Chain A
Amino acid sequence: MRVITRTCAVALAAFLLGVGALGPALGQQDLRPAFRVRLQFARAGGIFDPAKWQYTSDWFVYPNVFNWLLRWNPGPDPKELQPDLAEKYAMSSDGLTFTFTLRKGVQFHKGFGELTADDVVFSYQRQMDDPKLSFYEAMSNIKSVEALDKYTVRITLKERDGSFLWTIVSYRPGIIVSKKAVQQLGDGFARAPVSTGPFEFVSLTPQGEVIVRAHDAYFRGKPSVKQITFVHIGDENTAAAALRRGDVQVIWTRGNPDVVKLLREDPKIHTVRVIEYYNLFQTQFSPRFKPGQDVRVRRALAHAIDRRVIAKALPGLDEMADVLRPPQLFGGSNDVPTYPYDVNKARALLREAGFPNGFPAVLMVQNREPETTVGEILVSQWKAAGLDVKIDVLDATAAFDRRRKGDFDITISATARPGDPHLFFWDVFHSDAVPPQGSNFFGYRDADALIDAGRITVDEARRVQIYKALQRKLMTDLPIIPLFYRHYELAMTAQVKSMQPGAFSMFWGETILVQR
């Protein structure tokens, strides 16, 4: 009996000890789901050192791994800057000095310790010192970056820049990395980055998948997903099929109408329409294309475009652009001349410009949607106005090469510049932004003074006035014809309760809420 009792006691003790040991393990079991997400829109370039950034597809992953001092608000329209690693900042009265106060206790991934002002100084300084890095040029207006103490950083500019916070601090150049990790890993940092974001980088697999795992010490709280695997799916139809089968949980589409219709009709899928108002598709004219030099011809072509036809052919593109930057964005305005559809007016303007019988022209477009469909519509509408227009469809590189050399008549191009208006207006209209520096393919040079004034003014109200005046001038001179804003369809399986769509190829994994 005693033996039995002793045996039972030992067994019970062992059981309790076992449960005791197992308990924490069971309690720690991570029940959060792991998601697979379509990498937007190309194979991963594999460069995850922000200072060496080259690929949009990689940028898609960045907001999950890295932080900035300030960041754009998650969502399709970045309208405001939020505190990120800096809990507050102050600008000097002359607009040249910015002082950032860092959050305390922010932890780097993989045990690389606490973020300090040294890491911020290092992240900026390395890009200011090395011309081989991607944002060396962008950093050229920074005079100095100093750590005033462990949690305070001061950045001093050479000249005032009203766009500085949007274009540098909260944008691609302003990502903060771990100084210790960069020094320790060297070139290997690009494949094993260390930062402070909601997910820590795990690997870029030989299959081209990028895996990130929840960083539970993230200063905004634990992510609701334990792991995200970014996969490349080249074909839109395949991506939709993979989502419907549950192989992936989130995809972006380029707005292919058939795919969008299919996804919207599937009860297991929910979709969110994302319009990027800062991503403008436009027609540009070559400086060598003689008829395009006459503003009456450009206005005639603008009047000949019936945007309703485009919206009907490509649902999702019904937010047509008849202004350059809509008023819902900072610095946007619709107080500008517009060119509503009026084919008779188009013909009259052509006659006035000395082209009563039109002229021959070739519209060069890139071989992807929606450019090709929109291109075909433009050709038919310009033909109706009396022009002899043909379409030339080329792959992205060939089209870009010819745009750069001015070897085209008219083309459709896209310019995406979220955040501060200076980025867009400089890139498309400044005389310094002719290729290869920017996208001023037309070679327009009559608005430099206003564009430069917009940049160096720091008073926001004054800047708004400058940009209004600038847009009135641009829409009068019409060096480009605005067409439509980029539209994406974000589609998710029922497992994803909600998610903030990212602005400008950003995927905000931390905003995912999971359906329990």
Chain B
Amino acid sequence: MIPYITRRVAAAAVQLIVVLVITFGLVRLTPGDPVTAYLSRIQSETSVSKQYVEQVRRQLGVDQPVAVQFGLYVGRVLRGNLGISYTQSEPVSRIITSQLPYTLQLAFAALLIELLIGVPLGVYAATRRGRFADYLATTVATVGYSMPRFWTGMVLILVFAVGWGLFPVIGVGEPGRPLDVLHHLVLPALALGVAGAAYVARMTRSSVLDVLGEDYVRTARAKGVPEPRVLRGHALRNAFIPILSVVGVSFGRALGGSAIIETLFGRVGIGSLLVDAITQRDYTLVQGTILVFAIGVFVINLAVDLGYAWLNPRIRYT
């Protein structure tokens, strides 16, 4: 297994370099630069001199040719230094470290909701194939999958926060008070997780249906094993292997979706940080945040792959 992990990490390093190059190029292809963004923020309110603009340009290092900027950036990243944020004048790594826990909290909570809703719904639909319950569950899953997260979030806010007053609309809760944090997490995690739950439900249904048609399930039934035991002992364990692969995808989607949900619920996190960084052309912060997103997706996918072996000992890593 060690050589397998080593190969995966090496491949991921190459992928991360590609991500880095693409991100570096893309942010510079968008019109405007950090200085323009800075001026656009202040110039409707105050005037600045040409000298000041040039000084800001020098300070931010964007007066250098792009190739030089890239060389300097790669050099820094290889030394583990993500640079200084143009807009916050703080090390990018420190900013991301302070915001990442909130996004991970949200992404894992959303993943949990996806699994807690999606898996039972998928199993329920599969075991009642062709019946009303199956059509109902499938319809619910399709509707859930089709709802934009922003819209789901707004509906949740209006019903559960404003209407019934059960949950707060904004914020992340007070650190050190787990119940408060949880209270603030419910609605955003639901908004982020509902669409994913629908996806998981559909995958679970089809996976369970596949397994239920296998010879060993038929044999178990022929031997008179009770249906719940057939399901638990034979079908589900094998059906979970493809479902596990969905977890990796879902986590990536949850991380990506955090940008919208964090903005909607006034939460801090690297999702809303990325949105602000793009708007303000904070190159170093955009690059650093996307790099962290990419690393997060890689780590979770590696964990999923390793989880295969635990669920199915027949799988061997070569």
Q: Chain A residues in contact with chain B, CB under 8 A?
A: 42-43, 45-47, 54-56, 131-132, 136-137, 172, 206-208, 231-235, 237-239, 241-242, 244-245, 247-248, 394-402, 404, 413-417, 423, 426-427, 433, 436-439, 504-505
Q: What are 14 inter-chain pairs, A to B, with CB distance below 8 A?
A: A42-B276, A45-B87, A395-B279, A396-B41, A398-B32, A400-B39, A400-B40, A401-B31, A401-B32, A404-B39, A416-B44, A436-B43, A437-B50, A505-B45
Number of A-B contacts (CB under 8 A): 134
Compute how far the CA of A504 lies from the CA of B42 in the bound complex, rounded to whole angstroms.
12
**Cβ-defined partner of B265 (8 Å) among A47, A238, A402, A436:** A238
Min CB distance A212 to B, Å, is 18
Residues on B lying within 8 angstroms of A by beta carbon are 30-33, 36-53, 55, 59, 87-89, 98-99, 102, 154, 157-158, 161-162, 165, 168-172, 175, 263-266, 268, 272, 276, 279-281
Q: How far is the CA of A46 from the CA of B85 in the complex (A)?
A: 12
Pairwise interchain contact A55-B41, C-beta atoms closer than 8 A? yes
Q: When chains A and B are docked, how far (Å) is the Cα of A232 from the Cα of B168?
A: 15
Q: Which one of A45, A46, A401, A438 lies within 8 Å of B36 (CB-CB)? A: A401
Known: A231-B266, A245-B162, A395-B279. A436 touches B45 (CB 8 A): no
Contact present for B40 and A399 (CB under 8 Å): yes
Report how far A56 CA is from B44 CA in the complex, Å. 10
The reply to whether B31 and A231 contact each other, CB–CB distance below 8 Å, is: no
Would you call B157 and A397 a contact (CB within 8 A)? no
User: In the complex, which residue of chain B has the Cβ closest to the Cβ of A407?
Assistant: B31
B266 engages A234 (CB within 8 Å): yes
Complex interface: chain B residues within 8 A of A137 (CB) = 48-49, 51-52
When chains A and B are docked, how far (Å) is the Cα of A131 from the Cα of B55? 9
- A239: chain B residues within 8 A (beta carbon): 266
Whose C-beta in chain A lies nearest to the C-beta of B35? A436
B52 CB → nearest A CB, Å:
6
User: Are A397 and B172 CB-contacts (below 8 A) given A56-B45, A404-B36?
Assistant: no
A478 to B175, CA, bound (A): 56
Question: Which 9 A-B residue pairings sit nearest by Cβ, starting from the closest?
Answer: A400-B40, A397-B32, A401-B32, A398-B31, A242-B169, A233-B266, A397-B37, A137-B49, A401-B36
A206 to B175, CA, bound (A): 10
Distance from A57 Cβ to chain B, minimum over Cβ atoms (Å): 9
- The answer on a CB contact under 8 Å between A234 and B272 is yes
A261–B41 Cα gap in the complex (Å)? 28
Q: How far is the CA of A238 from the CA of B162 in the complex (A)?
A: 10
Residues of B within 8 Å of A55, CB to CB, are: 41
Tell me if A437 and B36 are in contact (CB < 8 A).
no
On whether the beta carbons of A438 and B47 are closer than 8 Å, the reply is yes
